[in-house]
Structure 1
Amino acid sequence: MSVQLWKVLVPALGLSLLWTACKKEEAATLPDEQTFNDLRLSGTIEDDPALVNKAPLLLSADFLTAYRTARKGGNGKPGTTTPVDTTTTTTPPPADTTTITPPPATDTTIITQPPSLPSGYLITMPSVRHQGTEGSCVSFAVTYARASEQYYKTRATNYNDAVNVFSPEYIFNQVGLPDCSGSAVTTSLDLLKNTGVCTWQSMPYSTNNGCSVAPSATQNAEAANYKIAAYSRIPDADLTAIKTMIASNHAVIASFTIDGSFKNAYPGFIWKSLTGNSGSHTMAICGYDDAKHAYKAINSWGTGWGDAGYIWIDYDFFPVAASAYTYVMTL
């Protein structure tokens, strides 16, 4: 079994992989024109495996078929196990790769796939913002996704900071590390589920007031109006499931190991290889294009980075750089 196939199937088996959520990017100022060279990377934080395993698993029928085929082993005979190649993986293999059980039916949903997916699709997203000196990429990714959910739910025609753009400050100040260096995806999504999130206008994002300012009673009351009903996890290599979610206007939250080429992304760049490790980062996947063979992600480093604040990520490379699971929310 190849490394990539191991990454495809092991998450679906409920064998949790710890994954870091994000890092601190330090900068003296916060203009959109700021380049990545002004930033400095540092700490990360892992998802709680208990929260990861608690999230329902979404799979496409295509992915489940591949899983069942792989269970038969490399020679196609039931009951055999294909050896796992871990020579080039950047994440540790599970402690026991010989005991394979299918996902529990009560925790797994096979998504309804359309007869055919469009060859490309882009979700209308809010404006690209800049996280500046705090490791708040997770908070930006989840609030980008939450904003797009609100936009499509209400059939809006534009984004407005007082109506359907939400506050990363509200999320990060409650779940981030005390030194403002990072936060975890599942913890952030749990906050959205249990508490909600207020609008950007009610609690604007700032890198100048630390990350410990607690929300007010008024902000909490507003946040309660914008809870999510649930969130689910999707294996990083389930291309059909991820594309189906995007084509249904659901942004997909994903964490990545990043490198120098990612940091120096430019217009037209498609991220296809990983050289070294410069930390971990979280973004919202909001589009795809079969002609490019790539997903499109919105970042939180301002419009001066990448392709006006976005980046394209090759389909086949995505599971190499991404964490074991991606996440999608429902209202």
Structure 2
Amino acid sequence: MRFFLPLLLIALACTCVRAQQPAAAYGTARSPAVSLGVADAQVLDQLMFYIPGVGSPSREDLVRQNIKSYMMPIRQAPGQQLEWAYSLASAVEYYQNLNSNYKDNLSPDYITLNIAAQGKQPTIEDGLRLLIQQGTVSASIMPFGSSSIPGAVYSVPKFTIANFGYLFQPEMRARNRVFEVRKALSRGNPVIVELLTDASFTGLQTNSYTPGAETAETHYLTVVGYDSEAETFELRGLYGRHWADAGYVRISFDDFGLLAQRGFVLIPKL
């Protein structure tokens, strides 16, 4: 019995330490996800990082947020079928470069060529799973536009992610899509979206986009900011810096809610 009280005090002290741990920020370990691709909104909310110094839970950032200054320069995808891979590589770069003095470009072609080598027509979900299981490499090893995988990739570091989440899917209401994207951005996370557009979209020369009558094309872009007062999102395109507003375009919340079909957010690996 004389040892019981000291042991009880130690147990209580340990319990208090655990209870006082703050919500995990980027750089703080989380429990591993149980499956590839998280669709449950509550689970995703727990897994999605808050990025210190970029995202903020303050009231000001609920009004306005933009992370494009942390992204690498605008790129131009060689074709519509590769937009998703370029979007994924840019998002992984964002997390990789946040805490690094050396800013690296990552290869989208490594993603697509690895999937194609499996005899499959690559999709964004295939790319996300590859980033979890294998990752991609620096574009200094496998440059943009590569048509084959060089042997050097087997002896260099791979850049991976822990998981990804389906932030929204087609069955979600338009206003809820807007809410979920704002929440992810307010924490400092870019959102990759599958967007329906008309045929004029890739030739846009204005800083904002309003859809025409027929939205038959599908494109992948990255949402990097929002302004609640103007009720607009800012999206990063893959059509070069002369497209729209130096490679970026604004879309109203209402149009975004109707046009955005699926949204993805990455869970970075520490």
Following superposition of structure 1 onto structure 2, how do residues 148-163 of structure 1 map, counting pairs within 5 Å?
148-152=94-98, 154=99, 156=101, 160=103
Superposed displacement of residue 308, structure 1: 0.7
Structure 2 distance, partners of 1:150, 1:265, is: 31
Structure 1 distance, partners of 2:192, 2:155, is: 26
Superposed displacement of residue 115, structure 1: 5.7
Q: Does 1:214 align with 2:149?
A: yes
Q: Does 1:307 align with 2:245?
A: yes
CA distance 1:265–1:194, change in 2 (3 Å): same
Q: Does 1:194 align with 2:133?
A: yes
CA distance 1:54–1:193, change in 2 (3 Å): closer
SS in 1 for 2:258: helix
Equivalent residue number for residue 130 of structure 1: 76
Q: Does 1:246 align with 2:185?
A: yes
Q: Does 1:144 align with 2:83?
A: no
Letter in 2 for 1:235: F
Superposed displacement of residue 247, structure 1: 2.3
Superposed displacement of residue 176, structure 1: 5.0
Contact kept in structure 1, 2:44 and 2:165, CA below 8 Å: no
CA distance 1:235–1:252, change in 2 (3 Å): same
Say what the alpha-carbon RMSD is for the aligned residues.
3.0
Letter in 2 for 1:260: A
Equivalent residue number for residue 57 of structure 2: 114
Superposed displacement of residue 221, structure 1: 4.2
Equivalent residue number for residue 295 of structure 1: 233
CA distance 1:179–1:275, change in 2 (3 Å): farther
Q: Show structure 2 runs of 5+ residues with no match.
A: 1-34, 51-55, 170-175
Structure 2 distance, partners of 1:189, 1:183, is: 11
Q: Deviations 1:200-225 (Å, cap 9, x if unpaired)?
A: 1111111xx64xx1353x3144353x
Equivalent residue number for residue 317 of structure 1: 255
- How many residue pairs were aligned? 218
CA distance 1:284–1:58, change in 2 (3 Å): farther
Structure 1 distance, partners of 2:40, 2:248, is: 26
Structure 2 distance, partners of 1:261, 1:252, is: 23
Q: Does 1:57 align with 2:1?
A: no
Q: Does 1:184 align with 2:128?
A: no
Structure 1 distance, partners of 2:178, 2:251, is: 12
Q: Show structure 1 runs of 5+ residues with no match.
A: 1-52, 60-104
CA distance 1:176–1:141, change in 2 (3 Å): farther
Equivalent residue number for residue 258 of structure 1: 197
Equivalent residue number for residue 167 of structure 2: 234
Contact kept in structure 2, 1:255 and 1:283, CA below 8 Å: yes
TM-score by length of 2: 0.70
Equivalent residue number for residue 30 of structure 2: none
- Taking only the aligned residue pairs, the percentage that are identical comes to 18
CA distance 1:137–1:108, change in 2 (3 Å): closer
TM-score by length of 1: 0.58
Contact kept in structure 2, 1:58 and 1:241, CA below 8 Å: no
Letter in 1 for 2:246: A
Following superposition of structure 1 onto structure 2, how do residues 161-180 of structure 1 map, counting pairs within 5 Å?
164-175=104-115
Structure 1 distance, partners of 2:201, 2:263, is: 19
Superposed displacement of residue 166, structure 1: 0.7
Contact kept in structure 2, 1:287 and 1:296, CA below 8 Å: yes
Structure 2 distance, partners of 1:264, 1:257, is: 15
SS in 1 for 2:220: strand
